[in-house]
Structure 1
Amino acid sequence: MAMEAREIENLIREAFPTADIEIKDLAGDGNHYAATVVADEFRGLSRVKQHQLVYAALKGKMDGTAGELHALALTTRPRDA
């Protein structure tokens, strides 16, 4: 089952309400996306931790073979001060 970019953005926005979020459908199939998330909450966190927080915000949508989202290429960074 495919997801729409809007659904992905909404889930991420729930966790990071003030973040700048850009979602791109890489293959046009609703299964392969790239997301850029720039959020104050990432300040002082490793890139791995930033990605873990974004994946947690997706609430299991990428879990296992039954996941609604097959691939998400992430770019994360804290907002510049």
Structure 2
Amino acid sequence: MTILASDIEAMIRQSFPDARITVVGDDGVHFSAEVIDESFRGKNRVQQQRAVMAALKGKLDGPSGEIHALGLTTKAPD
């Protein structure tokens, strides 16, 4: 099953409803996402990115994952 950038954005938005989220990628398996959310303030990048990965509910897990690669940038708003 092919996944769309809009699908990834929707999954992230469920956990981060007020975030600024940008997801790009048009081949169905390689994506890049930027997530800017106030909840990241005071957390290190690993903590921030783990929170976003948890929102993707296993879509990146192993060879059966729908998303092959996701470049991820996270931060709190300026």
Shorter-chain TM-score bucket reads over 0.9
- Aligned residue in 1 for 2:5: 5
Size of the alignment, in residue pairs? 78
Unaligned runs of at least 5 residues, structure 2: none
- SS for the counterpart of 2:47 is helix
- Aligned residue in 2 for 1:58: 56
TM-score normalised by structure 1 residue count: 0.92
The one-character-per-residue Cα deviations of 1:50-77 (angstroms, maximum 9, x if unpaired) are 0000000000000011001110000100
TM-score normalised by structure 2 residue count: 0.96
Q: Residues of 1 paired with 2:27 and 2:5: CA distance? A: 11
Unaligned runs of at least 5 residues, structure 1: none
Provide the identity percentage. Answer: 50
- 4+ long deviations beyond 3 Å: none
User: How far does residue 21 in structure 1 lie from its aligned partner after superposition?
Assistant: 0.3
Q: Does 1:41 align with 2:39?
A: yes
- Aligned residue in 2 for 1:16: 16
- SS for the counterpart of 1:33 is strand
The one-character-per-residue Cα deviations of 1:15-43 (angstroms, maximum 9, x if unpaired) are 00000000110xx3110000000001100
Root-mean-square deviation (CA, aligned residues, Å) is: 0.8
